[in-house]
Structure 1
Amino acid sequence: MKRRTDPALCLATHRHDPDRPRTATDGLNLCPGCHAALGRNLHDLPELHADVLAQLPTGSISSGPAVSGSRTPLLPYNPRAGDLLAQMRHDLRWLTSLVSAERGISGPPPNPGAQCAWLERHADWLAARPDAGAYKDTLAELVGRSYGVIDPGRLPLVLPVRCVELVDGEPCGGVLKATVRRDDDPTPSVIFCDMCDLSLDTTQWHRFGRRYQRGRMAG
């Protein structure tokens, strides 16, 4: 008699409806949404790192004491940006060292662009690890803190609807979120799901809205 094996559950932290179990993708320890978020965060972090770096000068007079023997005040400095940049360097060095040591391969150069591009190529391996949830949560925290330093208004908006995409024949039920493009922002506006692979640009929103309404009526 074949032994029944229950599907693995996603090991990452979910901010919305956190007590609802999410089934992990076959062979991984992350649900489809968290798996996609892992790659998306690695893709976005280099640009966010550059934006946070640009926030280091505060543009105001430092409140710290002047250097002894000098009339020149300390350089203006944004401690939130500085602390976050140090955390980024620490976490990316930790992740790349982990992958390099465990897989027996050479790591990337020690800069965020090279590190994140290299880690993207190993995203499936990270998602299959027992600590996959910790990796995803660490990267998500870096991205969230980056937006908090750069522009809190750019954080994704949570939409008051559930995803109706079919996953294994059943409605997904994940949380839909939207990032809305601002003036002079190269990042496109998208709607995405925190559980499945749904990702829609603005040209697809109207058609999706009609499909969503049909899905609600059918449900």
Structure 2
Amino acid sequence: MKPTIIEHPFHDIRLTYMSEAPLSTLEQEGIEKYVELHNQSQEYKQVIERLLTYYTSAGKTLQKCKAIFDNLQNEYILLTPMLHYLEEGGPLSENEIESIDESERVCYDTQPLLTQLHTFNHTFDAYADGLMAAEKEYSGTEQQQEKLELLFDDFNDNYFNPIIKDWKTMEIDICSLDENFDDFRGAFCDMTDMVDKLCEIRNAFLDAHIKLQNRIVELDKDIVALFAAINGESN
């Protein structure tokens, strides 16, 4: 018998041939399909690993955005008395301002809010770009998985089973083929477990992201209302 090894990053293909005789057309095509199945599995695995790395590490970036957002919200809260005053009494005229003693005047500085808003927007935009790219890649994994499952079924139904069934006329030792394909299925199942882990981590991450996103939407409305009041704009 002649051992044959095709080294592959996903799973080594180790088969034994009965002799030096050439493979049948079915066997040759079967080997090509088997290698292609390995190639597609490796590509899919790399995508899953890349997304796992992203969604695991992106939690830290999300926490950074949340901390900056909290600072931004605090700056807004400091200015809410001014908003209340403007909504209740309206802005003072120049003459009214001049009539108030300087010791009784209160100055509301919006610059810290604007500075914090700029910092948050810069950080969040970079974070959002990364998330958008990851989500786009994730959206393609379902189609990639379906394609992989079709390749798996094609090899199993049209090559593996017929070779096993007609083993007497085959050059490939079916024991080695059966053992190797069983090992491949094990590696395939490990990858499926990795996909389940990705879904769990991504769902937890998106829950936290959505909570922050909802807070951003609400604060954005408040800040717009604040500056509209400062500028004397009506609702």
- In terms of fraction of residues, the more strand-rich structure is 1
**Larger Rg over CA atoms:** 2
Whether these two folds match at TM > 0.5 is: no
- In terms of fraction of residues, the more helix-rich structure is 2
TM bin, normalised by shorter chain, reads under 0.3
TM-score for the superposition, normalised by structure 2: 0.25
Q: Which has the higher contact order (CA 8 A, sep 6+)?
A: 2
